[in-house]
Amino acid sequence: MLIITASSGSNLELARLIESEAKAQGVNCNILDLCNLNLPLFHPGVKEKGAGDGLVELQNALHSHKSIFICAPEYNGLTPPVLSNAIAWLSVGCSDFRELFNQRPVALGSHSGGGGGRVLIAMRQQFSYLGCTVLGRELLATFQKPAKPETIQALVQDLIKLESISS
């Protein structure tokens, strides 16, 4: 399981909770913080220059894991720019872009100060469009409402089940 976080703050903490639960269930998992990849802002003018080692690291991480758990905060009702940018780079910088996502099990989570519901909807729409099998259940935490351990446990179990089906 690849746990992708789109912030180095509360969503990284959420990713660590997921990692701890996954390891307790015997799952091989890694956290990838998109903020540490230092991908340049994608636009057509920089496409030819490429995204460098960060894109290679992201692509290799996706190839090395059967499922993804994405933790992203809500930014103005949508996904954070670092997540959108990473997907944009993958779409133009990888020869097997669709293969990275088609039928891949994905769980969604958010720790957001502004509610988080909208980013979960936006990510569900985007990852479904990319061909992923997105779990129906989601993980939503705020500063007032911490993540429920039983929700994390259930989502990890659901990803494990989907991994075995998609293999």
Quote the percentage of the chain above a pLDDT of 70.
99
The answer to whether residues 139 and 3 touch, using CB atoms and an 8 Å cutoff, is no
| pLDDT tops 90 at residue 48 | no
Query: Comparing 105 with 50, which gets the higher pLDDT?
Result: 105
User: Mean pLDDT throughout 139-154?
Assistant: 96
Q: Identify the three-state secondary structure at position 114.
A: coil
Backbone φ and ψ for 2, nearest 5 degrees, come out as: -100, 125
* pLDDT recorded at residue 167: 60
Confidence label for 45 from pLDDT (cuts 50, 70 and 90): confident
Residue 49: its pLDDT value, please?
84
Spatial separation of the C-alpha atoms in residues 79 and 84, rounded to whole Å: 7
Q: Quick one: tokens of 82? A: 């670092």
pLDDT of residue 47: 80
73 vs 113: which has the higher pLDDT? 73
Of 15-24, 55-64, 91-100, 141-150, the poorest mean pLDDT is in 91-100
pLDDT at 51: 85
pLDDT number for residue 94: 82
To which H or E segment does residue 119 belong? helix 117-129
**pLDDT of 42 higher than 70:** yes
CATH superfamily of 2-166: Flavodoxin domain (3.40.50.360)
